[in-house]
């Protein structure tokens, strides 16, 4: 009874009890890749290759787990753990180009959040990443289940049907290229081959039980017949003509089947709305190569992006620039000439002119637009965390002026990116002392005025600035004039015939929005001999009371402003638009509050009413966060992820140790040599022999080792008792330890009571130590005799 029970248990635990067959596994793997390859061939979105990779890894994992000895519970735990690693990893590769992994994963989570909200509200999802993630998860799951079902139970339908249904659905939504139907034909061919192979394996098992011998030639004939039959069936099915009009019964049956799923089809249509051929190519970028003055200002409370700012505020007001323009003609802004180069986060930061004294700060932007490539940045960006193109103006061999950062690939809704900037807040004193010694690259580019500029614009520039001594005071005079004399209006009529838009705005209509204000100041400054440029982007936005350190920028915050160049300081922003609060800067003049009752701080004037308190709230609210790379919740998530992986590995190891008696590696290597009729090397034979010994047998080996070192007879033909007696004569100091070790060894080998390993190891350590001493004494004695002679 005992013997029969042991045999049954052994049969249950043998790997041969699994349905493992390499040809069947290879056929299934190829079939799953065919289904995933059909999705990739549709070309609906970049990044769909992630589904094919996940299918391959899932199939390999499923085949391995199915062949393993693990029970269903442990298989589930391991599959879940591997899913937590491989799925985010491969989906994270969709964002390539050197993006750091913490930013990459957070961006993907943000994109999924935005897309899921739209999908659950039954709105079109314009970001294809949700479809990519859904496809990857689907192919990973069905491939893992297919591999496991095949090798664990020999389940044919569970292995082949889900991927076939998915392939059929893809073909339904992408029927336009006739050649792609070949994927379906090849998949059906593989299904028939796999069905035949599994049937052959079952027959072979039966023949083996019945002791029926099958020749090798018969197996070849069976396989050849199976391949030919499958190929003929697929060929006939594909070549048979279809009826011009489908059978009425078949049509009615199809309508009854698909009617309950119509809502799901509509939802699936929302899911793929962002794929190629839908809205995936639509760009939501603001500000292109040119900018017209326009007739209507941007309106609406739609959030465009949010920004997390540094805890220390180093600028008087935040402006989020997209690009700048330097040339104005025919009521339109553009750029005379620019350069373009590739930019990558792994490159060094840019070197800007006039960077001395600036403070390096980092900003985190999160886009809320479906797809943008023109990045929002602070005023002096030197590095962004996304790859792409940089449009710039060369200033010197090692210095340049950024005009625009263009991300490639584009940023999707919910993604975040980092920008490092050089923040600088010059004082009024510094601006007045900057002078007018402009570099050649500035005067050549930023003093251009339109050829058809009216004389009264030139006269106005002269009138406003003739009595001012410094470029700063001239710029301030023009700014104050525009703020006081021009009324803000969100809509501007078309310019009357025969007039330029700027001339009509300044002298006749005297109403407009930021495009007109900023253009007027730039041209008036240039007419007065002061270099200036047009900057466009977004105003500061709204302070988020619930999330300290976060600014929310909506569509209505779209803005244009002038930037004035000051030697040795760089570009400085002015605010002529009457709808915006005045822009104040620290005076830089040391005064005392005793002399100026009620005045602001001597070194730092109030920036704008109410803004200083915002800045202090922002600093106090986010001081605990600072500029650390990781937030506390990121660290917790990382620690939980690592703990989960380590915990699952420990559980798997303990389960394996408890359920299986492992075969040592050297014994496996030796068996591999013998399986192929090869003689294993002597070192491998000795290693395998030692690995096959019981722990106490290996411990007793110290007796033979010590005999060899002391010159005694260590022949394996000697019994353990004889070897121990000889060693006792050579090493009397260790006699007690030798007898204790021999006693434990004899109990292990010759009695039912096993010996105690720990006392044996202590005895072996004593023998080894005394043998070292004896060898050292013999060496010293030999040296002494040699010296004496």
CB 480 within 8 A of CB 495: no
Q: What is the CA radius of gyration of the chain?
A: 40
In a domain, 703, yes or no: yes
Residue where a domain stops, chosen among 160, 179, 198: 179
Distance between CA 148 and CA 308 in Å, rounded?
46
Distance between CA 178 and CA 514 in Å, rounded?
54
In a domain, 198, yes or no: no
**pLDDT attached to residue 177:** 61
Q: Are residues 391 and 448 in the same domain?
A: yes
Q: Is 323 exposed, middle or buried (0-12, 13-18, 19+ CB in 10 A)?
A: buried
In a domain, 231, yes or no: no
Q: Are residues 640 and 749 in the same domain?
A: no
Distance between CA 342 and CA 390 in Å, rounded?
6
CB 373 within 8 A of CB 420: no
Mean pLDDT by 10 residues, the chain (789 residues): 38 50 82 81 73 83 82 83 81 68 72 68 63 80 85 79 79 64 77 76 70 56 58 58 48 50 48 45 70 86 89 84 92 88 85 78 89 88 90 82 88 87 89 90 92 91 91 94 93 87 90 93 94 94 84 91 93 93 82 44 38 38 38 58 64 55 72 77 80 78 82 76 84 86 80 77 87 85 79
In a domain, 313, yes or no: yes
CB 707 within 8 A of CB 723: yes
Q: Are residues 577 and 502 in the same domain?
A: yes
Distance between CA 738 and CA 716 in Å, rounded?
17
Alpha helix (H) ranges present in 246-405? Answer: 248-258, 262-271
**pLDDT attached to residue 629:** 42
In a domain, 279, yes or no: no
Global pTM value: 0.52
Q: Are residues 444 and 574 in the same domain?
A: yes
- The count of domains in the chain is 4
Distance between CA 116 and CA 108 in Å, rounded?
12
Residue where a domain stops, chosen among 137, 159, 179: 179
**pLDDT attached to residue 26:** 84
In a domain, 220, yes or no: no
Residue where a domain stops, chosen among 145, 179, 213: 179
Q: Are residues 528 and 657 in the same domain?
A: no
In a domain, 250, yes or no: no
**190 CB neighbour count, 10 Å cutoff:** 23
Q: Are residues 471 and 415 in the same domain?
A: yes
Q: Are residues 424 and 540 in the same domain?
A: yes
Q: Are residues 657 and 567 in the same domain?
A: no
Q: Are residues 613 and 741 in the same domain?
A: no
| Beta strands per DSSP E along 489-646 | 511-512, 532-538, 542-543, 550-554, 558-566, 570-573
* 510: region left, alpha or beta (phi > 0 left; psi from -120 to 50 alpha): left
CB 287 within 8 A of CB 558: no
**pLDDT attached to residue 97:** 56
**pLDDT attached to residue 571:** 92
DSSP state of 663: P
Q: Are residues 565 and 643 in the same domain?
A: no
Q: Are residues 657 and 706 in the same domain?
A: no
Distance between CA 731 and CA 764 in Å, rounded?
13
In a domain, 232, yes or no: no
**pLDDT attached to residue 198:** 77
Domain around 559: 300-622
Q: Are residues 509 and 643 in the same domain?
A: no
């Amino acid at each position: 009874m005992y013997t029969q029970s042991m045999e049954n248990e052994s049969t249950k635990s043998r790997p041969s009890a699994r349905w493992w067959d390499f040809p069947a596994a290879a056929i299934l793997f190829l079939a799953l890749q065919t289904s995933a390859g059909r999705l990739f061939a549709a070309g609906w979105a970049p990044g769909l290759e992630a589904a094919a990779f996940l299918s391959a890894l899932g199939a390999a994992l499923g085949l391995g787990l199915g062949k393993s000895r693990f029970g269903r519970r442990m298989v589930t735990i391991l599959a879940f753990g591997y899913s937590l690693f491989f799925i985010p990893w491969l989906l994270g590769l969709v964002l390539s180009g050197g993006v750091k992994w913490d930013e990459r994963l957070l961006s993907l989570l943000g994109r999924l959040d935005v897309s899921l909200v739209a999908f659950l509200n039954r709105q079109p999802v314009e970001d294809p990443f949700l479809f990519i993630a859904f496809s990857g998860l689907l192919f990973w799951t069905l491939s893992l289940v297919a591999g496991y079902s095949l090798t664990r139970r020999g389940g044919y339908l569970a292995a082949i049907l889900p991927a076939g249904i998915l392939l059929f659905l893809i073909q339904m939504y992408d029927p336009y290229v006739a050649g792609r139907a070949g994927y379906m034909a090849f998949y059906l061919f593989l299904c028939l081959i796999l069905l035949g192979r599994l049937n052959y394996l079952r027959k072979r098992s039966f023949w083996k039980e019945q002791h029926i011998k099958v020749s090798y030639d018969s197996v070849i004939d069976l396989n050849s017949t199976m391949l030919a039959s499958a190929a003929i069936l697929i060929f006939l099915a594909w070549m048979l003509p279809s009826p011009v009009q489908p059978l009425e019964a078949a049509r009615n049956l199809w309508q009854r089947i698909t009617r309950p799923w119509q809502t799901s089809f509509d939802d699936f249509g929302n899911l793929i709305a962002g794929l190629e051929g839908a809205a995936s190519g639509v760009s939501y970028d603001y500000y292109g190569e040119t900018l017209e003055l326009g007739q209507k200002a941007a309106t609406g409370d739609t959030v465009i992006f949010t920004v997390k700012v540094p805890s220390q505020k180093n600028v008087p007001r935040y402006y989020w620039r997209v690009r700048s323009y330097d040339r104005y003609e025919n009521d339109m802004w553009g750029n005379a000439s620019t350069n373009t180069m590739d930019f990558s986060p792994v490159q060094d930061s840019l070197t800007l002119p006039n960077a001395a004294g600036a403070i390096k700060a980092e900003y985190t932007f999160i886009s809320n637009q479906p797809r943008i490539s023109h990045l929002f940045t602070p005023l002096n960006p030197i590095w962004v965390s996304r790859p792409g193109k940089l449009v710039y103006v060369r200033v010197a061999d090692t210095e340049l002026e950024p005009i625009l950062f263009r991300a490639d690939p584009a940023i999707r809704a919910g993604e975040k990116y980092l920008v490092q900037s050089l923040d600088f807040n010059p004082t009024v004193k510094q601006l007045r002392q900057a002078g007018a010694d402009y570099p050649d690259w500035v005067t050549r580019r930023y003093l251009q005025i339109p050829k058809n500029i009216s004389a009264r614009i030139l006269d106005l520039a002269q009138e406003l600035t003739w009595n001012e001594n410094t470029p700063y005071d001239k710029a301030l005079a023009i700014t104050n004039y525009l703020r006081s004399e021009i009324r803000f209006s969100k809509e501007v009529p078309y310019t009357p015939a025969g007039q330029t838009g700027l001339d009509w705005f300044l002298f006749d209509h005297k109403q407009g929005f930021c495009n007109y204000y900023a253009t007027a100041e730039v041209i008036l400054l240039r007419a007065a001999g002061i270099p200036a440029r047009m900057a466009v982007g977004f105003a500061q936005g709204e302070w988020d009371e619930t999330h300290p350190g976060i600014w929310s920028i909506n569509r209505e915050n779209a803005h244009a402003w002038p930037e004035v160049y000051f030697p040795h300081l760089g570009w400085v922003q002015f605010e002529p638009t009457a709808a915006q609060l005045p822009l104040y800067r620290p005076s830089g003049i040391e005064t005392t509050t005793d002399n100026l009752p009620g005045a602001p701080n001597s070194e730092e004037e109030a920036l704008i009413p109410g803004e200083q308190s915002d800045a202090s709230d922002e600093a106090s609210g986010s001081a605990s966060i600072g500029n650390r790379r990781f937030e506390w919740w990121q660290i917790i998530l990382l620690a939980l992820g690592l703990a989960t992986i380590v915990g699952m590995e420990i559980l798997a190891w303990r389960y394996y140790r408890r359920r299986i008696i492992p075969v040592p590696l050297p014994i496996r290597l030796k068996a591999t040599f013998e399986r192929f009729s090869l003689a294993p090397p002597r070192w491998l034979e000795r290693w395998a022999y030692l690995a096959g010994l019981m722990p106490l047998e290996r411990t007793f080996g110290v007796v033979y080792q010590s005999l060899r070192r002391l010159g005694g007879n260590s022949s394996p033909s000697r019994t353990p008792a004889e070897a121990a007696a000889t060693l006792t004569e050579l090493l009397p100091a260790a006699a007690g330890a030798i007898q204790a070790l021999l006693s434990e060894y004899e109990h292990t080998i010759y009695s039912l009571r096993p010996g105690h390993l720990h006392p044996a190891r202590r005895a072996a350590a004593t023998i080894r130590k005394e043998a070292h001493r004896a060898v050292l004494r013999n060496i010293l004695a030999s040296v002494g005799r040699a010296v004496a002679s």
